[in-house]
Amino acid sequence: MTAELTRMTAAEMASAIAAGQVSAVEVTQAHLDAIAAVDGRVHAFLHVSAEIALAAASAVDARRAAGQPLGPLAGVPIAVKDVFTTADMPTTCGSRILDGWQPPYESTVTRRLREAGAVILGKTNMDEFAMGSSTENSAFGPSRNPWDLTRVPGGSSGGSAAAVAAFEAPLGTGTDTGGSIRQPAAVCGIVGMKPTYGGSSRYGVVAFASSLDTPGPLARTVLDAALLHEAMSGHDPCDSTSIDAPVPPVVAAAQQADVEGMRIGVVTELGGEGYQPGVLARFGEAVELLESLGAKIIEVSCPHFGYALPAYYLIAPSECSSNLARFDAMRYGLRCGDDGTRSAEEVMSLTRGEGFGAEVKRRIILGTYALSSGYYDAYYGKAQQVRTLVTRDFDTAFGQVDVLISPSTPTTAFRIGERADDPMAMYLADLCTIPSDLAGNAALSVPCGLAPDDGLPVGLQIMAPVLGDDRAYRVGAAVEAALRERWGHPLLDEAPELTADGMGAAGARSTK
C-alpha cells in the first residue's frame, strides 16, 4: 500500500482524500514509511517531524468528516527546504552556525501551505545558506541523486529534489537564486519552477541574495507544480519586494497543454561547446517535438547571456556578504570561544570561522571585496550594468517570441566529489539558469528524456516574461503530455525502486 500511495501524483492524492477513498493520515504514514525505508541512503531530509505531520493529516480528515470543503492540496505531504523558517521545527539552512535553531516565527510560504491543508513532513537538506549546485556544501553531509546514488541531486535545493524523485514526498519547496530549483529538478528528472521574482513571498526565507532569492515548487508533474505554485504564491505585505498582482493562472495553463501557434525561441548562446552531447541530443528532440505540436521555432540571440554568470558571482556574493553579517554569535546560533576572557570581536571571528563552511566563506570574502572602497564601481557597479543588459536581452527576445527554451543544465548529474575542489566547474552548472534570476522573469524545468550517453535525466528549460508564468506551464504541460503519449509512461516510471544497494546502474536503464 505504501508504494501505491507514494506513486500517486499530488493531484490524485488530494482527489482521493477529498472523496474519502483514502485518509490523509494513511497517505502521510505511507510517506513517513518511505522516508524511513530509503532516506538513510538518499539523505534528503535533515529533520522529519512525524508527530506534527500526522496531527496535520488528522486535522484534514476531521474537516472532511465534518463536511467542510478541502483545498486542492489538503492532506498532500510536502518536503520543505530548510531555508524556510518553521516555528515548530528547526531551521538550519544546512549550516553549523544555525544547528538546532528554532525560529520564533513562520515563513509566509509555509504558513500558506499549512492553511491550505498541506502536510509538512519535515525539512530537507541544502547547500549551506543556498550557496552551491550539488548539496555537497551542507554541514550535515551531501544528499544523493535517487537515479544514481554516486551522483549529486543538484543544489541548492537538492534535498527537496531528491525527496520528490525518490517518492519520499510528492511535492517539495525550494528557492532559486541562481538556478537552485531548476538545476536540481533537471538532474533528478522532476519539474521545478522559478516564479517571477516577487511572485512568492521571501518573508521567513533566510536571505542569501535578496534581489535574487525566489521561492518555488518542485514536483513530479507539471500540474502538481502548478498547484503548489498557486498555493504558495500571492502578494505579501510582509515582503517589500512582493508584487501586488494576481497570481498568473498557472493551474489552468498546466491543464491546457497546447502550444499550437506559439512562437518559441531557441537561445543560441545556451548550447554548443561545453554541453554534454546527450543533453544536446535530448534538447534537440524536444525542439522537434514542440515544432510537431504546432509551435513556430525561432532562433533568438541573447548576446549578453555569456556575461551573466560572472555578473551573478559578483552580485550574489555582495548581497550575501551583507545578509550573513547578522550571524555574529551575539544574538542567536552558534557561539565559539566565549570563555569570559575573549572580546566580542574575537568570539565573532571564532564563531564565523568555525560555523561557516568553505563555500560560504569564499562568497563572503568575494562579496566584501567587491563592495569595498575603490572597487565598488569596478566590480559590483559593472555587474549591475551587465544585469541590465541581460534584462534588455530578455525584453528584446520576448518582443519576438512567447517563450524561450534551452537545456536546463549543460550536463546531467555529476559524481559526488567530482567538482568539490573546483569552484569554477561547480559554478558552470548554473550557466543556463542564471540569466532568468538576474532579470527576474519566470522559468520552468521539465524532464525531456534520459541522456543516451549515461542514462540520466535531462531537463528542458522554458523561460517566460515577468508575470508570464502561465506560459511556461502551458509549454511544459504540452511537452510532458507528448512524451507520455510517445513513451506510454511518465519519465519517472523509468526509475526503479530504491533497493538495499540503491537504484540500478544508470547505464542499465532505457535511454529512449
3-state secondary structure 282-334: HHHHHHHHHHHCCCEEEEECCCCHHHHHHHHHHHHHHHHHHHHHHCCCCCCCC
C-alpha cell at position 225:
507544480
Q: What is the mean pLDDT of each run of 10 residues along the chain (512 residues)?
A: 88 97 98 97 98 98 96 97 98 96 97 98 98 98 97 98 97 98 97 98 98 98 98 98 98 96 98 95 97 98 97 97 94 88 92 96 96 93 98 98 98 96 92 98 97 95 98 98 71 50 41 40
How much is the pTM? Answer: 0.95
The DSSP H or E segment spanning 160 is helix 158-165
Residue 341 belongs to a domain: no
Residue type, 431: L
- Given this model, what pLDDT does residue 254 score? 98
User: Per the domain annotation, does 171 fall within a domain?
Assistant: yes
- What's residue 507's pLDDT? 36
C-alpha cell at 401: 517570441
CA separation for the pair 281, 458 (Å, rounded)? 10
Answer whether residue 410 is part of any domain. yes
Give, to the nearest 10 degrees, the angle between helix 24-42 and helix 10-18.
150
Q: Is residue 361 part of a domain?
A: no
At 246, list the grid cell. 494576481
Closest C-alpha to 178, from 121, 147, 216, 133: 133
Q: Are 396 and 439 in contact (CB under 8 A)?
A: no
Is residue 178 included in any domain, yes or no?
yes
The pLDDT, as a whole number, for residue 340 is 85
Q: So which residues are the catalytic ones?
A: 81, 156, 180
- Grid cell, residue 485, equals 503519449
Which pLDDT score, from 0 to 100, does residue 484 have? 85
Please check whether residue 51 lies inside any domain of the structure.
yes
Q: Determine whether 263 is exposed, middle or buried from the number of CB atoms within 10 Å of its CB (0-12, 13-18, 19+).
A: middle
- CATH code for position 276: 3.90.1300.10
332 in a domain, yes or no? no
The count of domains in the chain is 1
Q: What three-state secondary structure class fits 430?
A: helix
Residue 218: how many other CB atoms lie within 10 Å: 34
CA distances for 400 relative to 206, 299, 432, 465, 482, angstroms = 37, 10, 20, 12, 25
Please answer whether residues 401 and 264 qualify as being in contact, where contact means their C-beta atoms are separated by less than 8 angstroms.
yes
Rounded CA-CA distance 288/280 in Å is 12
Whether residue 132 is contained in a domain is answered as yes
- DSSP conformational letter for 446: E
Q: Which among 65, 31, 325, 58 is positioned nearest to 167, based on CA atoms?
A: 31
**Which domain covers residue 258, as residue numbers?**
2-305+387-495
CB burial of residue 339 (10 Å; 0-12, 13-18, 19+)? exposed
